[in-house]
Amino acid sequence: MTELLTGAQILCRALLEEGVEILFGYPGGAIMPFYHALPEHPELRHVLVRHEQAAAHAADGYARASGRAGVCVATSGPGATNLVTGLATAHMDNTPVVAITGQVARAMMGRDAFQETDIIGITQPITKHSWLIEDAEELAEAVHQAFAVAQEGRPGPVLIDIPKDVQNQKVDGTAVDGKAGRRYGGTSQPATALPPYRLSAVQEAASLIAGAQRPLIMAGHGIVLSHAYDELRALAEKTGIPVITTLLGISAFPESHPLHLGMPGMHGEVHVNRAIQQADVIVGVGLRFDDRVTGNLAGFARGAKLIHIELDPSEIGKNVPVAVALVGDARELLRQLVDAVPARTCEEWRGEIASFMRPRAESFRGGLSPEGILEAIDQAAAGRCTIVSDVGQHQMWVAKLFRYQRPNTHITSGGLGTMGFAVPAAMGVVLARPGEPVWAISGDGGFQMNMQEIATMVQEGIPVKMAIFNNGYLGMVRQWQQFFHGRRYSATPIWSPDYVRLAEAYGIPGWRVETASEVEQAVQAALDRPGPALVEFLIEQEANVYPMIPPGASLSEPIESEAGSPRLAPV
């Protein structure tokens, strides 16, 4: 018996088959047939955002927190182009996001029709792959392929563009029912499966580690993506090698662990960067030696042999020369390495690193410091919350000062550095982790980029706890202006509305905290009140993030304090 289904109905069914529960989206002309079909499937919860960029970030946040693909939906033209920043963010940080966009009807395509845009062309360099659906018969298979591509291997965003008449096209539904449409062996498989890692390479890596005097482990996002937490810890504990976590590797290794060292790179602690510069072997796992991590490449870890454990073969040797490459899943390879490596300790080396440590420079006058705020947030949630940060000075403080104990509890836009990420991404994190406190921590600049999403939280009952570190500046840019542009604060002072009254306007509780003594109470109150809540912290205006490696300098040349900051003539 044939059952006629529209393309839109097929899309809904295919999403359900993929286990989708939540979509973030915004309707419009070219996606209306899909929105018409949606109420037939109440199992698909749709979250109406206030701007499509937020839909992409929320899907990204959902994916990072759940490990499953996040889904966002937009109409053609401006709806689709508003997704771009979110997709680029997901692409740089390897998050599985499936974007579904409406397109003008097939007969109108290529004629500059109303709200037509070549979203496949626009998103081509920031997606793993994309599909233009030219016949509803292809739709189910494309959706299943899209989810597979987004989630398999090194994850990333994908996009499915569906012309409006294809959404309305009626085809025989029985042919696409169930997962019969899946044909992964078909024409769209990538050319190469992962090359099998050489067993001898594991042995080579193990003997390098065994013979090292000053070894380090650098752990990146790959640990989180492959859930290799236990294996990472096993390697560290069997060998006594200290562990560095990159910005996206933060929380992959418990910070209370005696072998935990901290974050490397531009704002890494001095002892971490010095350890890198002194190391003779570095085991890099699931990271890509980004320029914010290495500083000037010519001066990076010159005495170290690198063992690079990485899923993507095109990353090997991209930025730094590698002595031993282990290409494959971090979890599996770490497991093998733990078996192959002899037990040892690194007492002397750890003592040496400890001697590099020095008290952190005082960056705050007055008592309302990021340390105090983060400590209160940690205490109030009894160590059970997820932190979603935005981009800028607060992002570095949140990365360095919060004591992350549980895996994947620190979520941030690392590669793209997208201001405005935290508030919408936190909505996705909350929906992936119901019942767990989620804090979106932003600066006053980033918060104002996507604060319209408070309305989404209210309408949908999404209890994001928002913290704003308000210093009245675009702080990180101001810091660069202070150091490298002769203190010419061009376009960095930024006015804010009254956030407490803003909260009130949206019908949520809000607090303004001006002194250290108010912090604990406000944080606790925000947590205790059901639903979204907002706390503004008026922090020191011209505080800086220390230490800092100036752009273009090597990890050996940090600016450690106000006194050490360059005094340049105005340029």
Q: Which sequence positions are flagged as catalytic?
A: 52, 114-115, 164, 476
- Binding-residue pattern over the window 134 to 153 for other proteins, x denoting contact by CB under 8 A: ---------------x----
Burial 340-379 (b: 16+ CB within 10 A, else e): bbeeeebeebbebbeeeeeeeeebbeeebbbebbbbbbbe
Contact 286, 229 (CB under 8 A): no
- Binding-residue pattern over the window 287 to 326 for other proteins, x denoting contact by CB under 8 A: -------------------------xxx--xx--------
Does position 121 bind other proteins by CB under 8 A?
Answer: yes
Distance CA(327)–CA(185), nearest Å, equals: 23
Taking the complex as a whole, the smallest distance from the CB of residue 324 to other proteins amounts, in Å, to 17
- Tell me the β-bridge partners of 457: none
Taking the complex as a whole, the smallest distance from the CB of residue 154 to other proteins amounts, in Å, to 8
Taking the complex as a whole, the smallest distance from the CB of residue 201 to other proteins amounts, in Å, to 17
Does position 213 bind other proteins by CB under 8 A?
Answer: no
Q: Which stretch binds other proteins (CB under 8 A): 177-185, 189-197, 461-469, 553-561?
A: 189-197
Amino acid, single-letter form, for residue 451:
M
Binder among 190, 366, 507, 564 for other proteins (CB under 8 A): 190
Distance CA(283)–CA(169), nearest Å, equals: 54
Nearer to other proteins, 314 or 521 (CB): 314
Q: Which stretch binds other proteins (CB under 8 A): 75-83, 92-100, 118-126, 333-341?
A: 118-126
Does position 124 bind other proteins by CB under 8 A?
Answer: yes
Nearer to other proteins, 189 or 345 (CB): 189
Taking the complex as a whole, the smallest distance from the CB of residue 161 to other proteins amounts, in Å, to 10
Nearer to other proteins, 174 or 314 (CB): 314
Taking the complex as a whole, the smallest distance from the CB of residue 110 to other proteins amounts, in Å, to 12
Q: Which stretch binds other proteins (CB under 8 A): 44-52, 75-83, 121-129, 532-540?
A: 121-129
Does position 129 bind other proteins by CB under 8 A?
Answer: yes
User: Which stretch of DSSP H or E encloses residue 300?
Assistant: none
Nearer to other proteins, 178 or 313 (CB): 313
Phi, psi of 490 (to 5 degrees): -80, 115
Nearer to other proteins, 174 or 189 (CB): 189
Nearer to other proteins, 99 or 545 (CB): 99
Q: Which stretch binds other proteins (CB under 8 A): 11-19, 187-195, 293-301, 434-442?
A: 187-195
Does position 132 bind other proteins by CB under 8 A?
Answer: yes
What residues between 53 and 72 interact with other proteins by CB under 8 A? none
Contact 438, 430 (CB under 8 A): yes
- Binding-residue pattern over the window 443 to 472 for other proteins, x denoting contact by CB under 8 A: ------------------------------
Taking the complex as a whole, the smallest distance from the CB of residue 12 to other proteins amounts, in Å, to 25
Does position 183 bind other proteins by CB under 8 A?
Answer: no
Distance CA(187)–CA(182), nearest Å, equals: 12
Q: Number of residues interacting with other proteins: please give it, by CB under 8 A.
A: 20
Contact 387, 422 (CB under 8 A): no
Binder among 188, 207, 319, 561 for other proteins (CB under 8 A): 188
Nearer to other proteins, 130 or 409 (CB): 130
3-class SS at 72? strand
Distance CA(456)–CA(462), nearest Å, equals: 8
Amino acid, single-letter form, for residue 153:
G
State the CB neighbour count (10 A cutoff) for residue 570: 7
Nearer to other proteins, 261 or 306 (CB): 306
Q: Which stretch binds other proteins (CB under 8 A): 34-42, 126-134, 511-519, 546-554?
A: 126-134
Nearer to other proteins, 190 or 211 (CB): 190
Q: Which residues lie closer than 8 Å to 120 by C-beta, 6 or more apart?
A: 130, 132, 159, 161
User: Where are the strands (E) in 331-454, listed by range?
Assistant: 386-389, 410-411, 438-443
What does DSSP say about strands 170-172 and 4-6: parallel, antiparallel, or unpaired?
Answer: antiparallel
Taking the complex as a whole, the smallest distance from the CB of residue 191 to other proteins amounts, in Å, to 5
Amino acid, single-letter form, for residue 135:
D
Cα 110–chain centre separation = 35
Contact 250, 410 (CB under 8 A): yes
Does position 110 bind other proteins by CB under 8 A?
Answer: no
Q: Which residues lie closer than 8 Å to 471 by C-beta, 6 or more apart?
A: 393, 443, 444, 538, 539, 540, 541, 542, 543
494 token code pair: 């930024």
- Tell me the β-bridge partners of 103: 163
CA distances to 30, 241, 343, 511 from 237, in Å: 56, 7, 9, 44
Name which of 462, 369, 459, 384 is nearest 423 in CA terms: 462
Does position 186 bind other proteins by CB under 8 A?
Answer: no
Does position 175 bind other proteins by CB under 8 A?
Answer: no
Q: Which stretch binds other proteins (CB under 8 A): 91-99, 127-135, 282-290, 540-548?
A: 127-135
Radius of gyration of the chain measured on its C-alpha atoms: 25
Does position 189 bind other proteins by CB under 8 A?
Answer: yes
Q: What is the dihedral of CA 220, 221, 227, 231, to 10 degrees?
A: 0
258 token code pair: 């005696």
Does position 130 bind other proteins by CB under 8 A?
Answer: yes
Positions touching other proteins (CB under 8 A) are 120-121, 124-125, 128-130, 132, 149, 187-192, 312-314, 317-318
